[in-house]
Amino acid sequence: MKDARPLIRCENVGKKFCRNFKKSLWYGVQDIVGDYMLRQTNVTKLSNQDVTQQRLRRDEFWANQGISFDLQQGECLGLIGRNGAGKTTLLKLLSGLIKPDIGTITIRGRVGALIALGAGFNPLLSGRENIYINGAILGLKRREVAQKFDEIVAFSELEKFIDAPVRTYSSGMSARLGFATASYFDCDILLIDEVLAVGDFAFRQKCFRRLATYVAEGGSAILVSHALEQVMARTNRAILLDTGKVVFDGPPREALHQYENRVVDDLFAKALENHWRPGRSISELEDTPVQVHSARFYDCDNPDSAIYPGAKLSLEVVFHCSEDMEKLLLGVAVFSQHEVSLLESAVECVAVGGETYRLVCDFNSVPLRPSAYPVQIRIHDHFNCCLFKIDRKDFLLRVAQPRHEGLDSFELQSTSILDVDFQWKRDVMGTADGADCFSGAQDL
Amino acid sequence: MFADVWKSRELIWTLFMRDLKAMYRQSYLGYIWIFAAPLVTTGVWLFMNSQKIVQVAETPVPYLLYVMVGTVLWTTFSSAVSQPLVSFNSGRPTFMKLKVAPEAFVAAGLVKVLFDLGVRLLLVVPVFWVAGVMPPSTALLFPFAVFCLLLLALAFGMLLVPLGALYQDVGRGTTMLLGFAMYLTPVVYPPVETGWVAILLRLNPVMPCLMTARDWLTLGPSDYVIPMVVIALCSLVVIFIATIMLRIAVPHLIVRMGM
């Protein structure tokens, strides 16, 4: 039976942490004594309305602040954000391990946590013994574990090694055993912290199928992951955290888009956009006969405008050569943020000492989606020795978001790399009677 | 609260068995190590007493038996004092990540203490035979006295956990103080009646429990029964309060122990 009330309700939740370890311990003592004084014996209630808690002490910061959201039954929520954005803290608050400094968390249902796989494993004991230990720690009865034992072992695919000490397992194997045991724990809300990233590809797929079954059967889950495709494919909602605050809550695609934009903005803070000049790069090699004065991308049709998807793009490199070079090799490569090379081009030329050259490479159409792409430029001599290099982290090609109307929302939220002009056509192939075959293309 | 401990009895047992199995799987001598500590202490004191290095007053039962029972009881007491903190710290990686009752880890540690006591008592049996002493009928009451002794130890141990989980100083200090406290308790010598040591002994809460247990096992009726029962009752109250305090402290401890 479906209940309209949310399984999790977070209201204005905040949690403070301290950067200084010694001070942190001392604040811990203060907090514990403070709790004793307040006689908060009802420790299971995850709530704190004490106003004095809202003040930060020295060296403290908000690891989570003002977090409010609901989780409904059957929802699979992705939690994304950079390292240190407060994802794990939030999971710990939700699992009831730590209490919020302010705000209230209300939880209805049994919470299962896939946070630490293989909790309580003792490396000296066998896999068989450890399944029972892990089960007991997760709150399973010995009888329940015994019933599911064969299934657990089968799922982990460790039949051959089940009586070997866990110490002899590879990290992937012990994580598999841990996941297999933990996944047989019945719960209403499942908290998953990065643990699905373990094991080989086949096992990961198996884990995801299991998660999908669980959600399909009405279970709810919160998934923390840096593997963004995972989040997008498996969740139906995502929350983006940045420095402890919720900055977006909605469809996973949109969340991912915003997340990427933030990362890109960050990249830009450190690198040069579309136009590289010396001074920022640490990759310039000293004492080489080639010195690059500038490198830039521009739209050949409209050199002063920003670069939009599909533009006719030019790369211009201006360099000075102090010696005669019978053969210079200049190469350029554009990468995706996942370090995949998207396009590469190279040219050979002859250079006379004392001259300054301008090399231009025209790309007919660059169908890249709006984003920022790291660029690498290298110049080699004919011994293939690197004379000059602009590193990826110093130079970015930025493709801007076109401002014309009529873009449908799907296209806007797409996370594909390529942005190619395409048209769909629909042909009616005719009916079974054979009449009216190929009535021709129609507009959609 | 106690219902929680009861609910997690399977977990307690599993944890106990895990530690026990693991402890002896990588060892040849295995369970013999449990005997080692009291055997060595007894040996040292027998030697010192027989060689007149240290002069111990006349004991009501043969000295071998007196020291042996005393050290077994003291080892049990001191390990029960430090065990809650040790168990809490060893279970830390687990309950930092999962919602598990930390009391279960502490309880598993206590089961271990009891197990060790049982094994060591086996060691006492031949000593009775060697010393030519027949246990009196009060020996049947011995478990009750041990129970009181453990209550007292647990009261101390539980009080140490919240602070000890934050600062390692507590654990180290406890180990040192326990070594010292052994000599402020009539473990290897009979109670002194005069001087300032006598006053210290009278203030020492361990003495009545330990003396009663030993007297009942080896001698017969004991003079220390009433103080022992009073101390045990006080300990019960302290344990109760300390457990509540630990519960309140745990979320804070997890925060401070890191992610």
Nearest CA to CA, how far is A102 from chain B (Å)?
14
> B100 contacts in A (CB within 8 Å)?
119, 137, 139
pLDDT score of A52: 54
**Contacts with A53 from chain B: Cβ below 8 Å:** none
pLDDT of residue A157: 87
Residue B78 has pLDDT above 90, yes or no: yes
Nearest to A136 among B14, B248, B251 (CB): B14
Least confident segment among A298-307, B76-85, B149-158: A298-307
- Chain B hits for A97, Cβ within 8 Å: 95-99, 251, 254
What residues in A contact B18, CB-CB < 8 Å? 120, 122, 125, 129, 133
DSSP secondary structure of chain B: -HHHHHHTHHHHHHHHHHHHHHHHHT-SSTTHHHHHHHHHHHHHHHHHHHTTSS-PPPPSS-HHHHHHHHHHHHHHHHHHHHHHHHHHHHHHHHHTTS---HHHHHHHHHHHHHHHHHHHHHHHHHHHHHHT-PPPGGGGGHHHHHHHHHHHHHHHHHHHHHHHHH-HHHHHHHHHHHHHHGGGTTTSSPPP-SHHHHHHHHH-THHHHHHHHHHHHHTSS-TTHHHHHHHHHHHHHHHHHHHHHHHHHHHHHHHHH--
- Residues of B with Cβ-Cβ distance to A132 under 8 angstroms: 14
- Give the A:B interface size as CB pairs under 8 Å: 103
> Cβ contact (<8 Å) for A43 and B167?
no
- Most A-contacting residue of B12, B97, B166 (CB-CB within 10 A), to test interface: B97
What is the pLDDT averaged over residues B154-172?
Answer: 90
ipTM: 0.78
* B18–A129 C-beta distance less than 8 A: yes
Taking the CA of residue B22 and the nearest CA in chain A, the distance in Å comes to: 6
Identify the pLDDT of residue B168. 87
Per the CB < 8 Å rule, is B97 touching A17?
Answer: no
Which domains occur in chain A, in start order?
A: 8-110+187-264 (3.40.50.300), 272-399 (2.60.40.770)
Domain count, chain B: 1
Low-confidence ranges of chain A (pLDDT < 50): 1, 40-46, 280-283, 405-413, 435-444
Q: How far apart are CA A269 and CA A251, in angstroms?
A: 27
Residue A436: strand, helix, or coil? coil
Please report the residues numbered 39 through 78 in chain A whose beta carbons come closer than 8 angstroms to any beta carbon of chain B.
40-41, 43
Comparing CB atoms, the residue among A98, A115, A142 nearest residue B10 is A142
B22, A116: Cβ pair inside 8 Å? no
Nearest CA in chain A to B257: A25
State the nearest Cα–Cα gap between A138 and chain B, in angstroms.
Answer: 7
**Distance from chain centroid for Cα B176:** 15
Amino acid at A278: P
**Which of A17, A119, A142 is the closest to B97 by Cβ?**
A119
Cβ within 8 Å, pair A28-B256: yes
Q: Which residue of B has its CA nearest to A101?
A: B252
Q: State the Cα–Cα distance between residues A188 and A193, nearest whole angstrom.
A: 16
Residue A407: per-residue pLDDT: 46
Cross-chain CB nearest to B259 (options A43, A88, A95) = A88
Q: Per the structure block, which two tokens stand in for A187? A: 């719960």
The per-residue pLDDT for A49 is: 52
- Provide, as residue numbers in chain A, all residues whose Cβ is less than 8 Å from the Cβ of B159: none
Question: B226 pLDDT exceeds 80?
Answer: yes
Q: Residue A239's pLDDT is what?
A: 92
Mean per-residue pLDDT of chain B:
87
Give yes or no for A133 touching B (CB within 8 A). Answer: yes
In this structure, what are the phi and psi dihedrals at residue A371, rounded to the nearest 5 degrees?
180, -170
Per the CB < 8 Å rule, is B14 touching A132?
Answer: yes
Contacts of B245 in chain A (CB under 8 A): 36
User: Which of B18, B100, B249 comes nearest A125 by C-beta?
Assistant: B18
| Partner-chain residue, chosen from B10, B15, B251, that has the shortest CB–CB distance to A141 | B10
DSSP A197: G
The answer to whether A285 touches A388, Cβ cutoff 8 Å, is: yes
Are the beta carbons of A124 and B249 separated by less than 8 Å?
no
List phi, psi (to 5°) of A362: -100, 130
Give the model's confidence band at B80: pLDDT under 50 very low, under 70 low, under 90 confident, else very high.
Answer: very high
Nearest by CB to residue B162, choosing from A32, A41, A138, is A32
pLDDT tens by residue, B84-124 = 999 998 888 888 888 888 888 999 999 999 999 998 898 88
Write out residues 188-207 of A within 8 Å (CB-CB) of B: none
Residue A67: half-sphere exposure toward Cβ, Cα within 13 Å: 36
Structural domain for B213, as ranges:
2-257
Who among A32, A115, A120 is closest to B249 (CB)?
A32
**pLDDT score recorded for residue A271:** 64
- Rounded to an integer, the average pLDDT of B249-259 is 79
Taking an 8 Å cut-off on Cβ atoms, the answer to whether A137 and B25 are in contact is: no
